[in-house]
Amino acid sequence: MMLRNLHAVTGAPSSPSQPEYFLGQSDRELDRLALQARLVNPMTYRFLTAAGIGRGMRVLDVGCGTGYVSLVVSDLVGDTGAVIGVDRSARALEAACANMSARSRRNVQFLEGDAAEMTFDRPFDAVVGRYVLKFQHDPVTMLARLAGAVRPGGIVAFQELDWDGARSSPPVPSYERCLGWIRDALWDLDSESHMGLKLHQTFCDAGLPAPTMRLETLVAGAGGPTMGDVVRLIVANVETMLPHLERFGIATAADVGIESLAQRILREATATNSIVAAQSNVGAWSTT
């Protein structure tokens, strides 16, 4: 794996208009991303397989972060394919390189910079991204630029979240409070919490054919084997957003009680024999 500076590829800096990843790259956030990847990567694998990502392809992974989507793509394209992961965070890319080295992956390379502002030596067979467009001020323009890096007939495939899909039934009070805190924080941080359901219009506005779409989520019932995973994923989101919850006056650390939050949710869900669903993962793909 190689970690190269953006200037080695384009000779130009990334656009200052693009927002920074507001959750940062703390150890706590890197742990959350690892948990998220363990739970979501199987969905991403199925989504990208359905989109047509396969052996021998050269794929651009946009906003690759710590490299978990790149790992999925690496499996799909095999030794005869190649993955180029791009992210603006040097610390995230260091973690990505470590992830690849630990797994002896040799078909992945990482670049630091803004993929939408970069020029590559030849077109890609596909461009992919997970949870990237929701952070952009102008996702349509970004998607159009990225599609320009794909060969004619190539694949554009993005997976985004819809937080309205997260819920509990019968309602679990502590779980529902968590969801409210997360949605309020995303609103105040100007992050699109419904990007998944806006993918169709975004693809069309970017000049791409209407995409094929699919939705998957994590859902579990009280006492079920995956209940703890769903709860931990939501609680991890609350924990990493806690500084923003306090800054915006949404909730205090005392309100959240992060140390016992997961246990309280599980107790309440057990008392009412409830199910809980995490945020929806919506995928869309089209061709150039």
Length of the chain measured in residues: 288
What is the total count of domains within the chain? Answer: 1
Is 196 or 21 the better-scoring residue by pLDDT?
196
Where residue 25 falls among pLDDT bands split at 50, 70, 90? low
Give yes or no for residue 19 having a pLDDT over 60. Answer: no
Domain limits for position 130? 3-287
Higher-pLDDT residue of 13 and 258 is: 258
Q: Is the pLDDT of residue 88 over 70?
A: yes
Q: What is the mean pLDDT of residues 216-241?
A: 95
pLDDT one-digit tens code per residue, 247-258 = 999 999 999 999
- Mean pLDDT across 64-84: 96
- pLDDT per position as a tens digit, 28-56: 777 888 899 999 999 999 999 999 999 99
* CATH number for 143: 3.40.50.150
